[in-house]
Amino acid sequence: MKKDTTVTFVPPLELLLNNTVRYDGEYATGATGDLGYAIQYKINLFNNSIKDVEKLSILDVLPAVGDHSISPNEQNAYVERKSTYATPLTGSLEEANPDILEKVEFFYQLSDQGTDLGSVA
């Protein structure tokens, strides 16, 4: 006797964001590669709300040795991310995303992470 179950997923009516990385294959939430070779890092944003987004800021930090989370936890502490190697930016965000330049502006810095959110904002 065969039994089937149908599950319908209805995501919340909000912006959904996830990060993916690619070394030599498809984008995934994690990748394994050799040090010294380029990887591609991608931020995916899906607008599942009922209106267009008029203004949005996204803040992210590439991994670096000794880095920490960019927002504090419940104890107001910036938890270590325990990155064991750096992933420096090797190309401009504008070159990687030419098809959306009319819709968004990119702002980024290449300085080391400081002690709190204010150091990267």
Band (121; pLDDT cuts 50, 70, 90): low
Q: What is the pLDDT of residue 116?
A: 77
Is pLDDT of 117 > 80?
Answer: no
3-state helix, strand, coil in the chain (%, to 5): 10, 15, 75
Token code pair at residue 108: 């980024």
pLDDT (tens digit per residue) in 56-86: 888 888 888 888 988 889 999 999 988 888 8
The helix (run of H) or strand (run of E) holding residue 96 is helix 93-96
Q: What is the pLDDT of residue 44?
A: 85
Is pLDDT of 120 > 80?
Answer: no
pLDDT (tens digit per residue) in 2-55: 788 898 887 788 888 888 888 888 888 877 778 778 888 888 888 988 888 888
